Structure 1
Amino acid sequence: MLAGKHILITTVQSDSHTWNLIYIQLVLEELGATVTNLGSCVPIEESVSEIESCNADLVIVSSVNGHGYYQGMGLIKHAQNLLAGRLPPFVIGGKLSTNTKMDVFIESDLVSAGYNAVFLGDDAIASFKKYLSSMSNSTAAAL
């Protein structure tokens, strides 16, 4: 489904969790993608440098420590400033805040900032897989 796609997985600089990153990597590899997983606690500069050098088709930002919203916002803004016009699609998901009542506002803010999709809540994995499916379908339609 994602054969020929190169996907970069990263997280925010304060998030030391890795199980979420490994899970996403395994899902993507099962779908045929080539994956670069930067691991935990990735500084913004390192993420942006890797985005620039690896020619990713998609950047996934995953965070489960509750700080993904603010630090994810910093990441997308920094990437836009340094890679203007060369930015691949960006998606973000996980536990992005410590207050789930704010999820609707968080999602809107992150999309307005430049994320192509935001995955939160109980249906995050299903929505993520649907997004990946649409990504592969749009590639097939372009051929």
Structure 2
Amino acid sequence: MIVSGTESDSHTWNLVFLQLQLEDWGHRVRNLGPCLPGAELAAECRREAPDLIVLSSVNGHGESDGLSAVAELRAVPELADTPIVIGGKLGTGRQLRAGAGGGGGESMTRRLLDAGFSAVFHESAGLPEFERYVSALGAVKAGRTGRVLEELRAAPTP
């Protein structure tokens, strides 16, 4: 798995937290750090061929940075089927409010998914939703999809 910050986000604590959490869940993680331009991210991911690419933002520019990063990643044929997720503070208050030109979190999620992300985790979702996604992804790779899909359907949504 690869964990990376977005291009304009210099925070590192979120990336270290994600790395440690994913490792605690049993995954091998490479942390590429903050402020990585999309072209560099795509080149590293092409070299690594990760099972999952996780982008994290805490500065509120996750949507705009994420849209350009996922375009770079999806332009690499070897990454066409690689799950790519983004999470954290993806927008500012104005962007996340419905109306006032912001469209709300649902509109933002739709734009990110339409651009090529496999899943979007807003800061309000918390870690359990991300953990369910990562667990389901691991089960799919291990061929245990039936049981996991049943568990995901039965789990309460946050």
CA distance in 2, matches of 1:107, 1:72: 11
Structure 1 residues 45 and 85, CA gap change in structure 2 (3 angstroms): closer
- Within the candidate set 79, 83, 108, 2:73 is matched to 79
Letter in 2 for 1:29: E
1:47 and 2:41 matched: yes
Identical counterparts, % of pairs: 36
TM-score scaled by length of structure 2: 0.81
Higher RCO structure (Cα 8 Å, ≥6 apart) = 1
Letter in 1 for 2:55: V
CA distance in 2, matches of 1:14, 1:52: 22
In our comparison, the structure showing a higher alpha carbon Rg is: 2
Unpaired runs of at least 5, structure 2: 98-103, 146-158
1:96 and 2:90 matched: yes
Unpaired runs of at least 5, structure 1: 1-6
The alignment of Structure 1 onto Structure 2 pairs a total of residues equal to 136
1:9 and 2:3 matched: yes
Letter in 2 for 1:38: L
What secondary structure does 1:34 align onto? coil
1:34 and 2:28 matched: yes
CA distance in 1, matches of 2:123, 2:24: 23
Letter in 1 for 2:54: I
Partners of 1:93 and 1:124 within 8 A in 2: no
CA distance in 2, matches of 1:45, 1:131: 26
Partners of 1:91 and 1:115 within 8 A in 2: yes
TM-score scaled by length of structure 1: 0.89
